[in-house]
Amino acid sequence: MHPTPPELVIDGSARIDGTPIFGPLRLRIPAGRWTCLLGPSGVGKTTLLRLLAGVDDVSDFTGTISASDGLPLPGRMALMAQGDLLMPWLDVLGNVTLGARLRGTPVDRERAFAMLERVGLTDHAGKTPDALSGGQRQRVALARTLMEDRPIVLLDEPFSALDARTRAQMQDLSAEHLAGRTVLMVTHDPAEAARLGDAINILSETGLAEFPPPHGVPPRPVDDSKTLAAQGRLLALLRAPAIP
Amino acid sequence: MMTRAFTIAASTVLALVLWQGLVTLADLPPFILPDPVRVFETLWKSRALIAHHASITGAEVLLGLALGAMLGGFSAIGLAASPMARRLIRPMMVFSQSIPVFALAPILTLWLGYGLWSKVAMALLIIYFPVTSAFFDALMRTPQHWLDLGRIMGANRHRLMWHIRVPAALPGFASGLRLAAVYAPIGAIIGEWVGASKGLGYLMLLANGRAKIDLMFAALIVLAVLTLLLHAGVDRACRKWLDGKAARHEPA
């Protein structure tokens, strides 16, 4: 498909106005795999993601962010941020094809419609975002991110607004589309991490810890006993009181 | 609950009653303040004359508004796009606001003559700053998350401007245009006062000079109604094409 996706390493610490946000830590995001970053709210997961995306200008980061192929990151990644960030003046189709218009490349309407069909929004293509529910808006944002077709994909709680059934479907869809790319997904849902992660990292107030992912190739079946057991252990780890 | 139309009708009647009351109680002669009935009689009798002058003023206002909106729109985009232009031109714009537009009217008449264009220029001058300023401020306040997304998607500055900053700022442009709809007639009237042979401002000045105060008031009422209609029209157009969607959803 594209140039081979690189491995990413972020090594350092971040502060905002002198208050530590995270680190020092070292997170390795293996090439062509799906890495989950799990943790409670407020430990700096989103900051870390925004630093990788090169759009954080609030925090002071000391350290390095590097790709294994030594090439710069801009232009090679897609970001799905926490808010859906849909443009309210564009309809659903316009939002999904925004990337092409911003780059001045031809808009692939056929592919856009195919993507909308995959996220179950074909009938909504002509609607503006304010006519959609939160879950539908999140699916538009997902379709837009998948349309980007980049070797590195950063996802910030991409399925948080979805009901259980849609969430499982969208996870399958994303896993299929993003197979072979370097993916970092921030989430606070242990079930999601256990289902999708080739690698799972827990970020807490005390630092970064690796967690062995369950056996099997993601997306793992929702009722797989090893996956469910891993989800249970992850939740237990997350619930362990943070030592100040 | 009172409907909007009813409220407007009620306050109009109240204003007329107060007007009539003032004339009756203070026993004012018609050459100081004519009563409403007399003014509306004159308005009806002189309708052809007033309509002719109103059409001239209307053309000046609409031309000034259209040109001012265009020029203000392009200026705001230019200023937002270029830090250099901001440093050079913004101080000039602010300085220009310290000059009363009234003071420029004679010069404009000298340059552009007694006809339509000196009034169009006055209307344009008076609305240029509010339009530019409101749109420019909105262009400089694009939500950062949208800009970040655009950059990650690989947009250059021009496409970022055209596809994200301008559409996101249209509600600000709309507030500038709403102000402009009220200011533009003021500009045209100032221009007509300083030197003209047509238009409602000219008619008012003429009527005043010949002690036809009822005609002066009739022209004044027509001017006020035209301004209100213009504002309502611009407001509707802005709601339909400019504000709607962008104002309702700020990104999380």
Give residue B113's region: left, alpha or beta (phi > 0; psi -120 to 50): left
Quick one: pLDDT at residue A244?
A: 45
What does pLDDT average to over chain B?
91
Q: Cβ A102–B154 below 8 Å, yes or no?
A: yes
Quick one: pLDDT at residue B230?
A: 96
Q: Cβ B149–A85 below 8 Å, yes or no?
A: yes
Q: Which of A69-78, B60-69, B157-166, B171-180 is least confident?
A: A69-78
Domain presence at residue B78? yes
Q: Cβ B170–A89 below 8 Å, yes or no?
A: yes
> What is the mean pLDDT of the segment spanning B24-32?
90
Domain presence at residue B15? no
* Residue A82: pLDDT over 70: yes
Quick one: pLDDT at residue B249?
A: 44
The model's confidence at residue B248, banded by pLDDT at 50, 70 and 90, is very low
* A98 Cβ under 8 Å from any chain B Cβ: yes
The residue of chain B nearest to residue A74, with distances taken between CA atoms, is B152
Domain presence at residue B17? no
Residues of A within 8 A of B241 (CB-CB) are none
E-only strand ranges, A96-215: 152-156, 182-187, 199-204, 207-211
**Other C-beta atoms within 10 Å of A103: how many?**
15
**Contact (CB, 8 A) for A139 and A121:** yes
Quick one: pLDDT at residue B2?
A: 66
**CB-nearest partner of B249 from A75, A88, A102:** A88
> What is the mean pLDDT of the segment spanning B46-55?
95
Quick one: pLDDT at residue A72?
A: 86
B positions 130-159 inside 8 Å of A (CB)? 145-146, 148-156, 159
> How much is the pTM?
0.87
Distance from CA of B243 to the nearest CA of A (A): 10
> What is the mean pLDDT of the segment spanning A120-129?
94
What does pLDDT average to over chain A?
91
* Residue A4: pLDDT over 90: no
**Contact (CB, 8 A) for A63 and A12:** yes
Residues of B within 8 A of A54 (CB-CB) are 152
Q: Which of A1-15, A64-78, A153-167 is least confident?
A: A1-15
The model's confidence at residue A197, banded by pLDDT at 50, 70 and 90, is very high
Domain presence at residue B97? yes
Quick one: pLDDT at residue B250?
A: 44
The model's confidence at residue B127, banded by pLDDT at 50, 70 and 90, is very high
**CB-nearest partner of A53 from B152, B159, B252:** B152
The model's confidence at residue A19, banded by pLDDT at 50, 70 and 90, is confident
* Residue A241: pLDDT over 80: no
Residues of B within 8 A of A160 (CB-CB) are none
The model's confidence at residue A95, banded by pLDDT at 50, 70 and 90, is very high
Distance from CA of A120 to the nearest CA of B (A): 23
Task: Find the Cα–Cα–Cα–Cα dihedral A112, A117, A123, A129, rounded to 10°.
Answer: -60
> What is the mean pLDDT of the segment spanning A191-210?
92
Q: Cβ A88–B159 below 8 Å, yes or no?
A: no
Distance from CA of B130 to the nearest CA of A (A): 24
**CB-nearest partner of B249 from A53, A82, A129:** A129
Domain presence at residue B12? no
User: Which DSSP symbol is given to A123?
Assistant: G
- The angle formed by the CA atoms of residues A191, A194 and A195, to the nearest 5 degrees, is 85
* Residue A56: pLDDT over 50: yes
Quick one: pLDDT at residue B244?
A: 61
Residues of B within 8 A of A84 (CB-CB) are 251-252
* Residue B252: pLDDT over 70: no
Q: Give the CA distances from residue A176 to residues A139, A158, A181, B55, in Å, rounded to whole numbers and listed in that order.
A: 15, 15, 10, 67
**CB-nearest partner of B249 from A81, A102, A130:** A130
Residues of B within 8 A of A50 (CB-CB) are 148
- Percent of residues, chain B, with pLDDT higher than 70: 96
Domain presence at residue B18? no
- Percent of residues, chain A, with pLDDT higher than 70: 97
Q: Give the CA distances from residue B95 to residues A89, B25, B74, B101, in Å, rounded to whole numbers and listed in that order.
A: 36, 48, 20, 12
Task: Find the Cα–Cα–Cα–Cα dihedral A79, A83, A87, A93, rounded to 10°.
Answer: 70
Q: Cβ B245–A88 below 8 Å, yes or no?
A: yes
Quick one: pLDDT at residue B116?
A: 92
> What is the mean pLDDT of the segment spanning B220-227?
94
- Tens digit of each residue's pLDDT (9 = 90 or more) over B66-99: 999 999 999 999 999 999 999 998 888 888 888 8
* Residue A18: pLDDT over 50: yes
Q: Which residue has the higher pLDDT, B193 or A1?
A: B193
> What is the mean pLDDT of the segment spanning A172-179?
94
Structural domain total, chain B: 1
* B242 Cβ under 8 Å from any chain A Cβ: no
Q: Give the CA distances from residue A70 to residues A52, B154, B234, in Å, rounded to whole numbers and listed in that order.
A: 14, 20, 55
> What is the mean pLDDT of the segment spanning A17-24?
86
- Tens digit of each residue's pLDDT (9 = 90 or more) over A206-220: 889 999 999 988 999
Residues of B within 8 A of A89 (CB-CB) are 167-168, 170, 245-246
Domain presence at residue B119? yes
The residue of chain A nearest to residue B162, with distances taken between CA atoms, is A102
**CB-nearest partner of B154 from A75, A88, A130:** A75
Domain presence at residue B159? yes
Q: Cβ A89–B245 below 8 Å, yes or no?
A: yes
The model's confidence at residue A193, banded by pLDDT at 50, 70 and 90, is very high
* Residue A80: pLDDT over 70: yes
ipTM associated with this complex:
0.89
Quick one: pLDDT at residue B70?
A: 97
Interface mutation target, options B147, B152, B165, chain A, most CBs of A under 10 Å:
B152
> What is the mean pLDDT of the segment spanning A143-159?
95
Q: Cβ B245–A130 below 8 Å, yes or no?
A: yes
Q: Which of A57-61, A131-135, B148-152, B232-236 is least confident?
A: A57-61
Q: Of A131, A193, A126, A129, which Cα lies nearest the Cα of A158?
A: A193
Q: Cβ A87–B167 below 8 Å, yes or no?
A: yes
Quick one: pLDDT at residue A242?
A: 56
* Residue B166: pLDDT over 50: yes
Q: CATH number for the domain including B194? A: 1.10.3720.10
The residue of chain A nearest to residue B150, with distances taken between CA atoms, is A102
**CB-nearest partner of B248 from A82, A87, A130:** A130
- Tens digit of each residue's pLDDT (9 = 90 or more) over B210-221: 989 999 999 999
**Contact (CB, 8 A) for A47 and A22:** yes
What residues make up the domain containing B182? 35-248
